[in-house]
Amino acid sequence: MRLLLTLHNFLPEPLFGAERACIAQMRELLRAGHTVGLFYAGNAPPAPGELARHGLEGIALYRVAYRPTKAQVLLSIRKPHVERAFSQALEAFRPDVVVFHHLVRLSLQLPVLARRAGVPTACVLHDFYWICPSYSLFAWDAPVCPGGAPLRCARCLYASRYGGRPCPRGLAGATAAAMRARDRVVRGAVAAIDLFVSPSAAVPREMAARGLDPSPVVVIPHGREGGLRAPLAALGPTVRFGYIGGVNEKKGIDVLARAFAGRLGGQLSIQGFADEAARSTFRAAHPGFEGRLALFNPSPESFYGGTEVVVIPSVWLENQPMVIIEAFAHGRPVLASRIGGLPEMFREGAGGRFFEPGDPDSLRRVATELAADPPAVRQLAVGIPAWPDWGAVTARLVEQLQPLVPAHRGGA
């Protein structure tokens, strides 16, 4: 098949969840003999050798420029220069299927353009962008948005980008009008998509509960990178806990610090601070915290070498965080919030334990139990569920896409 994928950004920019998933998918598609193209927003091409390092030699790149701005979400409702470039990419590449990984920085009109061109489409639901311009349903005044009118969305969007400041009244009204226009565009785009793919059942279920039903939808998990490590060997007398990822509010970093206050904190390492200033800010906010604080490191090997239990204290509706997949691949059990798609990833006592989201006392209680019982941690590791690699996951995606192609070829 000829598959054109879209992504909001690409190399040489930093890679996070959606980018890593898309790149892994493209790599496996190339290995399977498919022809792959990528349409994305970026202001610089990949550096020499970067495509080869990621196993992406041979992909066709279609890059469109963008202007960084705090209003990027609103501008993505309609961008004529992006839409022209996408139509040209469709004509040049002539895909059998377009797979949308993200449309921020691009244009929410792209699925409609593909439909008009007679090209079938699929969309991967990485987050809540279709119903939340801030992607996560994480509100400025609550971990999970309670819903509401476009005016609430406008105030939340402004607060999330300007440090919680209240949105000026006139601007709030204009932004609310833009949110209503966005909703109309979103509904048209969703209607133009032939198939939705989600790593968890939680995201499409939440979207449907909030009035936007992405159907038909198939659940295909993210894959794991590389081979599986052996489960934990015999543990020492001290269980070492670790957190790796973004140090921010929606990831539950404050919940984590409060739960591990005091001596228990000496058994916790946090890796993910952007710079020394971020680390200093954390120490000032949590005086007396005894845990180890490390800067972000793109290689996770050092983190897992010093960690037996990985903690995921998220307070927002996570989809399927790759950190859990990585922990399982390294033979490490997890201690995770019971929220979003996380309960779909393992059973209580088999691969990990759950605690109540946003509740430091609940997290501290479970962590204290495990800290006092190293054999229980070993037993959790033995129960880590089998997880498919990216090759198997991408093959499942291709199986879902193939029925869309004959109708397109026949029409062509």
Condensed to tens digits (0 to 9), the pLDDT of residues 161-193 reads 888 888 898 888 988 998 999 999 999 999 999
Task: Average the pLDDT over 296-304 and give the result.
Answer: 80
**Percent over 70 (pLDDT), the chain:** 97
pLDDT, mean over the chain? 93
Structure tokens at 7: 């992504």
Which CATH architecture does the domain made up of 241-382 adopt?
Answer: 3-Layer(aba) Sandwich (3.40)
Residue 4 has pLDDT above 70, yes or no: yes
Residue 408 has pLDDT above 60, yes or no: no
Collapse the DSSP code of 160 into the 3-class scheme (helix H, G, I; strand E, B; otherwise coil) and give the result. helix
Q: Which of 260-264, 299-303, 370-374 has the lowest mean pLDDT?
A: 299-303
Provide the CB-side half-sphere exposure for 283 (13 A, CA): 12
Measured between alpha carbons, how far is 145 from 132 in angstroms, rounded to an integer? 9
Task: Say if 2-223+390-411 and 241-382 have the same CATH topology.
Answer: yes
* Torsion angle defined by CA atoms of residues 15, 18, 21 and 23, in that order, rounded to the nearest 10 degrees: -50
Q: Is the peptide bond before 357 cis (omega within 30 degrees of 0)?
A: no
Residue with tokens 């710079």: 275
Residue with tokens 């190293």: 374
Task: Average the pLDDT over 66-81 and give the result.
Answer: 83
Question: Which amino acid type is present at position 56?
Answer: L
What backbone phi and psi angles, to 5 degrees, belong to 370?
-70, -35
Express each pLDDT in 201-211 by its tens digit: 999 999 999 99
Pairing of strands 195-198, 60-64: unpaired
Express each pLDDT in 242-276 by its tens digit: 999 999 999 999 999 999 999 999 999 999 999 99
Task: Average the pLDDT over 139-154 and give the result.
Answer: 89
Tell me, what's the pLDDT at 409?
A: 53
Task: Average the pLDDT over 86-114 and give the result.
Answer: 97
Return the domain boundaries, the chain.
Answer: 2-223+390-411, 241-382
- CATH code of 2-223+390-411, in short, is 3.40.50.2000
Confidence (pTM): 0.93
Split at pLDDT 50, 70, 90, the class of 411 is very low
Tell me, what's the pLDDT at 147?
A: 87
